[in-house]
Amino acid sequence: MKKIFSFFLFIFFLTFIIKRELIYPNKDKLVHQESKSNTKGQINPIIINKKEAITLNKETKTNKKDKKTSGSSTMTTEVNQPAPPEFIKNMTGLFKSAKEKNWDKFNNYVRYLEGEDQASLNLSLYQAIINNAPIKIIENLLNRGATFSKEIIGILALQNNLALIKRLIPLGLDIYTVDSNGQSAIYYTLVTFQSKKTFDYLINKNISMKPDKKGLTPLDKALKYAIKTSKAIYYIDKLITYGARINTHHKNLLQVIKSNNIETYLKIIYLHPELID
């Protein structure tokens, strides 16, 4: 269970880093404005930053065609800066303090990161939730402007943290959302099949059981699990009872179950003979 959870956490953090391309979030923007009165085509680049605004004058060639159609033009260029050591230090400290559940230190890192960008603040919220932070810590982050990512409900379902799910719903957690893979929270209760309470809660809330981007459904996962153990029967029964659609692939999986575990096969078709119709 811990290995699977660590894998999901690693994938989420890796995605965060790739999207940021290890670029410091406060990228300076160069906004070049060509003055109407500038007959020589001089451009005044202005570096916009929270801490400074420096005006530089620079000679450049202008496009004559653009001049005919418009008296002024605007061009925006992003300057990529490597993440400074201070940012890396605070981000590393955020992860470490959350894992160690040192919430005083965690708040200190949040104070620095909230001044960077929305993604950093959202990542702070994510770290607080997956490390089961006190509700006051989570509320503080939400008050600072953090928002729930689509992955959070899935991680909580994987952790079988039903108590926290219920506490976060009034604070804006959407249990009906699907992640970037097209998977609802139901899928994550079926990763290890150790989230029975959360599974029951979500299925009673009519959480989506539609196919993900690979065309797989929660019923696919439950039937595959049944090849190994009869414990899957509970989930198969619930999913079909609550409206999971049966397709040819499901019937093919049932034949695999029959070949590997005849007793489990017989129990399944006794509960749901429609699987062999």
SS3 labels along the chain: CHHHHHHHHHHHHHHHHHHHCCECCCCEEEEEEECCCCCCCEEEEEEECCCCEEECCEECCCCHHHHHHCCCCEEEEEECCECCHHHHHHHHHHHHHHHCCCHHHHHHHHHHHCCCCHHHHHHHHHHHHHCCCCHHHHHHHHHCCCCCCCCHHHHHHHHCCHHHHHHHHHHCCCCCCCCCCCCCHHHHHCCCCCCHHHHHHHHHCCCCCCCCCCCCCHHHHHHHHHCCCCCHHHHHHHHHHCCCCCCHHHHHHHHHHHHHCHHHHHHHHHHCHHHCC
- Are the C-beta atoms of residues 71 and 36 closer than 8 Å to each other? yes
Q: Tell me: the pLDDT tens digits for 224-239?
A: 999 999 999 999 999 9
Read off the tokens for 263: 């007793």
Q: Tens digit of pLDDT for each residue in 49-94?
A: 333 333 333 333 344 444 444 444 444 444 566 778 888 999 999 9
| pLDDT at 83 (0 to 100) | 75
pLDDT at 30: 31
- Residue 83, phi then psi, degrees to nearest 5: -60, 125
The answer to whether the pTM exceeds 0.85 is: no
Show the low-confidence residues of the chain (pLDDT under 70).
Answer: 1-81
pLDDT of residue 40: 40
**CA nearest to 157, candidates 15, 17, 4, 16:** 4
User: What is the rounded CA–CA span in Å between residue 91 and residue 220?
Assistant: 38
Domain parsing of the chain, residue ranges: 28-79, 217-277
